[in-house]
């Protein structure tokens, strides 16, 4: 794995990629390309997410190990998306982020969407989903200390991330439907998506509580044993 | 010649880019009807979609076709009133066209994911970012590997008598145990993979691809035909512009319109034609002695 040697560059990239570059690419894909080049944009986002991931470590062998573990967690998330109705994708991204770092969480979220959409259908919505799950993972990584300590906060994070996912995806709905952004349409889209939001929130909480101890212990063990 | 699936991945990608682009960009009812018919035909002939997929597409089609005239009341030709809201011909035609577009695009995307298998996708995007290509291929492989390992663990647990499907609680606990073993095994194994990659010098040089696809003369010819037919269709669509609201104004059967529709039909059935010709040549070449 390539290591970004310059510490300052690493810090700059760490914030500029998830909060400026990737959102810009997502908006660009919806507004400028009108959703036509979504596959190229999605791959671009994945490449950026990988670059972001590279800002998360300073030693080469740690990078390779962490990448393989992230790939496995991503595969688990994809595997879990085949469960009907309840999707563990958020829970797995959060676990990855909490134990392997915020950047790994972003990569896990973005990649699991990109890869599972091979089976569930790629489309102009893919970049938005990648951003949504990526950010859910990223913030879980930032808040990892608190999330690990209190189960209540973890539950709260599950609920909030379900809501956040809906809010981000409804931006896409409005842009796709109206060709521009309108607050009225956005509000009505949010209201009409309430049942789905509730379902996301519930499945997030259920899977977070289910996976917290077993998966957490295993990741912690790998972390201590190999210094990932 | 080779069959369509064996063409250079780049040529295949170009073909689907052309077809999907035309389907998504043009709101020409004739073109979209052709698109739907040909994509269904090719899905049936190549066996891309099973019964459930056809049912799903039919539902998408119906919903998309009905939604527009129910909610949009633009247009002057009122067919009938529903709850005091006008149901107009223009909105109905627009809805049908949009439904054709959506369904045809769904069929074509499904076909695309069958023809462009993951190794071909990696070949296409490996040059774009080799690291990303490796990560994607590794994850896709793990998805399959997890399934295989899950079954292996399940079988061994069953053989040990630890697993009983008759009792619900037992079944759930057994499944949780299998998952737990699966995760431990795969994570531990992943570290071995990482060490192995590291010691073999991963990331020190350019990555090469297992499958090497060359651009042969017929790939070039295929791409040229695709581009020519797409250009002709685009010109035809441009010259026979369709206005839906307020009054339906379309001249679908103008010379340009017919030329465009003809070119699009040829483009849509190009893979079927290639595979059909190959099948006939194969039949003829069989020795009758």
Distance in angstroms (rounded) separating the CA atoms of residues B175 and B153 = 10
The answer to whether residue A2 is domain-embedded is no
> What's the number of domains chain A is made of?
1
Residue B81 has pLDDT above 80, yes or no: yes
Identify all chain B residues contacting A93, using CB atoms and an 8 Å cutoff: none
Residue B193 has pLDDT above 70, yes or no: yes
Per-residue pLDDT, A81: 85
Nearest-neighbour CA in chain B from A108: distance (Å) = 10
Identify all chain A residues contacting B113, using CB atoms and an 8 Å cutoff: 118, 122
Task: Tell me if A142 sits within 8 A of A105, measured CB to CB.
Answer: no
CA nearest to A208, candidates A146, A142, A135, A152: A152
Q: Which domain holds residue A198?
A: 7-226
DSSP label at B5? G
- Number of other CB atoms surrounding residue A71 within 10 Å: 27
pLDDT, mean over chain A? 87
Confidence of residue A84 (pLDDT cuts 50, 70, 90): confident
Region A100-125: what's the mean pLDDT? 87
B56's enclosing H/E stretch is: helix B51-71
The verdict on A77 touching B (C-beta cutoff 8 Å) is: no
Of A137 and B245, the one with more pLDDT: A137
Tell me the CATH number at A131: 1.10.1760.20
C-alpha of B280 from chain center: 27
Per-residue pLDDT, B226: 94
Q: Write out pLDDT tens, residues B248-271.
A: 888 778 888 899 999 999 999 999
Identify all chain A residues contacting B128, using CB atoms and an 8 Å cutoff: 43, 47
Q: What six digits make up the tokens of A77?
A: 């998330």
Per-residue pLDDT, A105: 94
Per-residue pLDDT, B164: 65
Distance in angstroms (rounded) separating the CA atoms of residues A102 and B19 = 40
The answer to whether residue A178 is domain-embedded is yes
Region A31-59: what's the mean pLDDT? 80
For chain B positions 15-34, those within 8 Å of chain A (CB to CB) are 21, 24-25
Task: Tell me if A66 sits within 8 A of B152, measured CB to CB.
Answer: no
Confidence of residue B197 (pLDDT cuts 50, 70, 90): confident
Nearest-neighbour CA in chain B from A95: distance (Å) = 13
Residue B111 has pLDDT above 90, yes or no: no
pLDDT above 90 coverage of chain A, percent: 35
Region A44-61: what's the mean pLDDT? 85
Distance in angstroms (rounded) separating the CA atoms of residues A73 and A106 = 12
Region A37-50: what's the mean pLDDT? 83
Residue B133 has pLDDT above 80, yes or no: no
Task: Tell me if A127 sits within 8 A of A38, measured CB to CB.
Answer: yes
Per-residue pLDDT, B58: 92
Residue A158 has pLDDT above 90, yes or no: yes
Q: Which own/partner contact pairs does B272-281 have at CB distance under 8 Å and 24+ positions apart?
A: B272/B41, B272/B42, B272/B45, B272/B46, B274/B1, B274/B3, B274/B4, B274/B222, B275/B3, B275/B4, B275/B46, B277/B1, B278/B1, B278/B2, B278/B3
Task: Tell me if A120 sits within 8 A of A81, measured CB to CB.
Answer: yes
Residue A179 has pLDDT above 80, yes or no: no
pLDDT above 70 coverage of chain A, percent: 96
Per-residue pLDDT, B33: 93
pLDDT, mean over chain B? 85
pLDDT above 70 coverage of chain B, percent: 94
For chain B positions 202-241, those within 8 Å of chain A (CB to CB) are 202-203
The answer to whether residue A187 is domain-embedded is yes
State the complex-level ipTM: 0.81
């Amino acid at each position: 794995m390539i290591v970004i040697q310059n510490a300052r560059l690493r810090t700059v990239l760490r914030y500029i990629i998830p909060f400026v570059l990737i959102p810009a690419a997502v908006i660009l894909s919806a507004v400028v390309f009108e959703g036509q080049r979504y596959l190229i944009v999605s791959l671009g986002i994945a490449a950026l997410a990988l670059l972001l991931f590279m800002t998360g470590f300073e030693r080469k062998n740690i990078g390779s190990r962490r990448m393989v573990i992230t790939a496995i967690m991503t595969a688990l998330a994809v595997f879990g998306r085949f469960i009907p109705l309840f999707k563990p994708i958020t829970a797995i991204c959060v676990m990855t982020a909490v134990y392997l770092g915020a950047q790994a969480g972003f990569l896990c979220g973005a990649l699991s969407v990109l890869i599972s959409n091979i089976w569930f259908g790629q489309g102009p919505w893919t970049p938005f989903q990648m951003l949504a799950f990526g950010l859910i993972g990223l913030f879980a990584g930032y808040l990892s200390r608190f999330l690990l300590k209190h189960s209540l906060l973890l539950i709260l994070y599950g609920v909030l991330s379900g809501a956040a996912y809906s809010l981000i995806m409804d931006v896409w709905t409005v842009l796709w439907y109206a060709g521009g952004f309108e607050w009225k349409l956005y509000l009505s889209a949010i209201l009409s998506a309430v049942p789905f939001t509730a379902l996301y929130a519930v499945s997030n909480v259920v899977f977070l509580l289910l996976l917290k101890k077993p998966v957490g212990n295993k990741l912690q063990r790998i972390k201590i044993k190999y210094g990932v | 010649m080779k069959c369509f699936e064996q063409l250079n991945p780049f040529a295949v990608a170009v073909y689907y880019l052309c077809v999907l682009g035309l389907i998504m960009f043009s709101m020409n009812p004739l073109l979209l009807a052709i698109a739907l018919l040909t994509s269904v035909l090719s899905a049936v002939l190549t066996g891309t979609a099973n019964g459930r997929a056809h049912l799903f597409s039919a539902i998408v089609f119906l919903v998309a076709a009905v939604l527009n005239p129910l909610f949009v009341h633009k247009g002057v030709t009122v067919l009938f009133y529903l709850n005091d809201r006008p149901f107009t011909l223009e909105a109905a035609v627009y809805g049908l066209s949009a439904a054709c577009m959506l369904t045809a695009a769904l069929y074509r995307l499904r076909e695309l994911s069958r023809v462009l298998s993951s190794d071909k996708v990696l070949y296409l995007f490996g040059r774009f970012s080799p690291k990303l290509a490796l990560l994607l291929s590794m994850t896709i492989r793990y998805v399959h590997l997890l399934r295989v390992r899950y079954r292996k663990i399940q079988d061994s647990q069953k053989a040990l008598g630890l697993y009983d499907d008759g009792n619900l609680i037992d079944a759930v606990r057994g499944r949780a145990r299998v998952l737990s073993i699966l995760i431990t095994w795969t994570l531990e194994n992943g570290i071995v993979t990482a060490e192995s990659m590291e010691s073999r010098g991963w990331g020190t040089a350019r990555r090469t691809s297992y499958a090497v696809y060359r651009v042969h003369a017929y790939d070039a010819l295929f791409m040229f035909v695709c581009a020519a037919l797409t250009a002709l269709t685009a010109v035809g669509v441009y010259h026979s512009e369709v206005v839906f609201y307020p009054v339906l104004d379309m001249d679908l059967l103008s010379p340009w319109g017919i030329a465009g529709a003809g070119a699009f039909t040829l483009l849509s059935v190009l893979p079927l034609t290639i595979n059909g010709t190959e099948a006939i040549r194969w039949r003829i070449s069989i020795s009758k002695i």
